[in-house]
Amino acid sequence: MDQADVVDAIIIGAGAAGLAAAKELRANGRSVIVLEARGRVGGRIFTYRDPSVVVPIELGAEFLHGATPNTDTIIDAAGLTAFDVVGEHWQAREGTFRQVDFWKRIEKVLGKLDEHRTPDRSFRDYLAERAARKRKPKDARARISAIEFVQGFHAADISLVSERWLAKGGDPAESPEDERTGRVVDGYDRVSAWLARDVYDAIELNTVVTRVEWERGNVVVSCQNAAGELRAVSGRTVIVTVPIGVLQAVPPAPGAIAFEPEIPAVTNAVDGLAMGSVLRTVFAFRERFWEMGLRNAPEHGGSGLMSLSFLHSPGADFPVWWTQFPVRAPILVGWVGGPPAAALCAMPDAEIERIALHDLAAHLGTTYERLAGLVTGSWMHNWEHDPFSRGAYSYAVVGGSGSARKLSRPVEQTVFFSGEATNTEGRSGTVEGALATGLRAAQGVLQALGQEPIPNQ
């Protein structure tokens, strides 16, 4: 092959990490090609727009979690608008409402995790030991809320997830900055679109990578386009940004990638991680019925649920719902994570939506028939069944708290891994975490090619 056809970096995946890496490398004068299996960029950022709905519908990433300097830089440069999510948390059980300080409650449990625990153990084992020591009903309620958080926020199975990893990952109640939750008004896909604009000509969509053959300083990637045509792409380095679920897939499963030669250190690191499950359902209604239309709504100074942000119902099929507050849109999003989400994902979409709406009616003390009559649209994306994701996002299993760091290490200065699962700063499962790893991988490639990165202006 002509040397001119050999790019400096082949990037597998056009999600946040892949696009950030491509943009950084091109800004430093390096040639790149981005191979994306889907027919769109963004990866697990997936925004849908319906002309009848006043806000973008997020079917993937939605929130800005904690401090997000990389995302904020893009938001500012792209002229986007973001705001902090404010409002009230309420707990609802069969139409009975009460306000809760959710962060304070889970802090009682998560704040006692030990990041140096030896030997490591699962969160379930930690809870069992705690339950034997603390038998008060108040602590039992705190443990239930902590389980809801670990399943919902981390998408984790409490019998598998590492105590050490959870402790290192940070507790959202540790500081006001960590508690901060934001939203991109214009839609999260505007972030990935801005990243893609300077490298659009290097992105090949509907291109599924099947094999990576490598030796130090030389990579050949085999791929197949939508028409079934096979081709090979040559490069000096490769940045692999696909989700852990895809790295764990075994050829010839759709989306699976074979590495030749195999990389034992990478296999070991991947085995210490798991792909978590989440399921969200988005419903649009004719009106914001929860603000004024519930007979049993709390008075709360006459405002009722006007400032409702999050609705919690521990133990329910969909234990968390949220509004678009402070934007007053007639949208409610139902959310469940961990094994309960995986079980629901096995069902048909119509059945999932029926269960969700029944659950919401039970939370609010109204009827399914009433809510169904108000629905004007519903949307969901089953990430569990998506062959190019195979789940929502990653977490570390027992003994795997150092796996992200292992996976983040370059292999022979030739094969680099990035994506939220490789984030070592407690930002796994987030766009911010993915962006940081994409920039890190790009800088690693530049150093491998004997170039110092140009400082960001």
Instruction: Decide: helix, strand or coil at residue 403.
Output: helix
**The pLDDT value given to residue 1:** 42
| The two three-digit tokens of residue 388, written as one number | 């190019």
Do 192 and 175 lie in one domain? The reply is no
Match 């402790």 to its residue by tokens.
Answer: 167
Assign residue 215 the CATH number of its domain.
3.50.50.60
Same domain as 104, residue 33: no
Is residue 184 within 8 Å of 191, Cβ to Cβ? yes
Residue 121 within any structural domain of the chain: yes
Residue 72 lies in a domain: no
pLDDT above 90 for 100: no
Q: Which of 356, 385, 414 is the last residue of a domain?
A: 385
Rounded to whole angstroms, the Cα distance separating 404 from 388 reads: 20
CATH number at residue 298: 3.90.660.10
Whether residue 304 is predicted with pLDDT greater than 50 in this model: the reply is yes
Range of the structural domain that residue 290 is part of: 84-181+277-385
- Do residues 239 and 422 lie in contact, with contact meaning Cβ atoms separated by under 8 Å? no
Check pLDDT > 90 for residue 124: yes
- In DSSP notation, 247-291 reads HT--TTSTT--EEES--HHHHHHHHTEEE--EEEEEEEESS-HHH
What's the pLDDT score for residue 253?
Answer: 95
By the 10 Å C-beta count (0-12 exposed, 13-18 middle, 19+ buried), 81 is classed as exposed
Residues 157 and 286 placed together within one structural domain of the fold? yes
- For residue 369, the model assigns a pLDDT of 97
- With 0-12 CB in 10 A as exposed, 13-18 as middle and 19+ as buried, what is 437? buried
Better-predicted residue by pLDDT, 453 or 177: 453
Q: Is residue 62 part of a domain?
A: no
At residue 338, does pLDDT exceed 60? Answer: yes
pLDDT tens digits along 174-197: 544 556 799 999 999 999 999 999
Q: How many CA atoms lie within 13 A of 181 on its CB side?
A: 18
- The share of the chain scoring above pLDDT 70, in percent, equals 95
Question: In terms of pLDDT, which residue wins out, 328 or 453?
Answer: 328
| pTM score | 0.94
Q: Is residue 68 part of a domain?
A: no
CA distances from 256 to 264, 394, 426 (A): 17, 17, 27
47, 34 Cβ separation under 8 angstroms: no
Q: What are phi and psi of 312, to 5 degrees?
A: -110, 140
Residue of 20 and 300 predicted with greater confidence: 20
**pLDDT > 80? residue 297:** no
CA 351, 357, 361, 367 dihedral sign is negative
- What is the pLDDT of the chain when averaged over all its residues? 93
Whether the per-residue pLDDT at 171 is higher than 70: the answer is no
Q: What is the predicted pLDDT for the residue at 137?
A: 84
Same domain, 244 and 291: no
**Are both 144 and 191 inside the same structural domain?**
no
Whole-number pLDDT of residue 289: 92
pLDDT for res 3: 56
Q: Which residue did the predictor score with more confidence, 14 or 106?
A: 14
Domain end call among 385, 412, 432: 385
pLDDT at residue 7 is higher than 70? yes
Determine the Cα–Cα distance for residues 136 and 417; give it in Å rounded to an integer.
46
Strands in 181-184's sheet, in edge-to-edge order, are 63-65, 181-184, 82-84
Least trusted range by pLDDT, from 64-78, 94-108, 170-184, 187-201: 170-184
| pLDDT level of residue 294 (50, 70, 90 thresholds) | confident
Q: 289 and 417 share a domain?
A: no
pLDDT of residue 173 exceeding 80, the answer is no
Range with top average pLDDT, 142-151, 191-200, 444-453: 191-200
More confident call, 302 vs 142? 142
Average pLDDT over residues 214-219: 98
Find the mean pLDDT for residues 381-397: 97
**What pLDDT sits at residue 448?**
97
Which pLDDT band holds residue 434 (cuts at 50, 70, 90)?
Answer: very high
Q: So what's the pLDDT on residue 104?
A: 82
- Provide the domain count of the chain: 2
Same-domain status, 177 and 317: yes
